[in-house]
Amino acid sequence: MNKADDIQLNGWLKDVPLFSNMNDDQLAVLAQTGVIKRFAKGQLIVHQSSPGNTFYIVISGHVKVALLHDDGKEIVLSLLSEGNFFGELSLLDNDPRSASVIAAEDATLFILTRKQFYQLITSNHGILEKVIKEICTRLRRADEKINSLAFLDVYGRTLMALQQLAHDQGIKTRNGIEIVNAPTHQELSCMVGASREAITRIIKLLLENKNLVSYKRRKVVLREYPLHPVNS
């Protein structure tokens, strides 16, 4: 990185929730510690079952965390956007990666090695607490996903997935909650375990039932209401 890149990265790191309790000097050191790497849409960033030696933070774009099968099918566990991080689990338990991570669009990531990650969390307990809290949140989300697959029909799972995205990364507007970098129909089908054709039909039903205000490309507006389980 050159000096201009350092200055830009410093400003970006300041807005990352994980580093919100770090001062400017600490952020400057952190910016010099890690490296920036760019990935093209569709490029594999992390492969499940491979050794885990790096920690990633999304600077721009978004990535999908997925389980890949030999037959080419995939189950999308989550979509991560700017400010989100991944890769911490393998660094903490020394086991292989539990899932693959793929660039859902052109993405730029900030990367720390295992040693750098440990230095970061041992020198700043606030960051360690946030990492642990995020791991707990993801475990709860995994439980919710298992519950939805077991007890909800495709309609209910689709609406619940959109509700969760709205809760995580939605922006409140006068028309409803706009989901930033919303999933395509294909990505949504991988998230809820249904065919793309089924998702297209369900989106139409959601629009007719006014759960959705609009669903166009990557701009989705969901009617505003509290996040709650959907009965099938």
Which candidate, 200, 140, 207, places its Cα nearest to that of 168?
Answer: 140
Where does the pLDDT of residue 5 fall: very low under 50, low under 70, confident under 90, or very high at 90 and above? low
Q: Is the pTM of this model over 0.75?
A: yes
Instruction: Round the average pLDDT of the chain to a whole number and report it.
Output: 87
Domain boundaries along the sequence of the chain: 3-125, 152-222
Q: How many residues does the chain have?
A: 232
- Name the CA radius of gyration of the chain, rounded: 19
pLDDT in tens, 9-68: 767 888 888 998 888 888 888 988 999 999 999 999 999 999 999 999 999 999 999 998
Neighbour tally for 194: CB within 10 Å: 18
Residue 111, pLDDT score: 96
Q: What is the 3-state secondary structure (H, E, C) of 30-95?
A: HHHHCEEEEECCCCEEECCCCCCCEEEEEEECCEEEEEECCCCCEEEEEEECCCCEECHHHHHHCC
CATH number for the domain whose boundaries are 152-222: 1.10.10.10
The string of pLDDT tens digits covering residues 211-231 is 899 998 778 999 876 554 444
Position 231 scores a pLDDT of 43
Q: What is the pLDDT of residues 67-85, one digit of tens each?
A: 988 877 888 988 998 999 9
* pLDDT band at residue 1 using 50, 70 and 90 as cut-offs: very low
Q: Cα separation of 213 and 159, whole Å?
A: 13
pLDDT digits (tens, 9 = 90+) for 113-166: 999 999 999 999 899 999 999 999 989 988 888 888 788 899 999 999 999 899
Q: Which homologous superfamily does the CATH classification assign to the domain defined by 3-125?
A: Jelly Rolls (2.60.120.10)
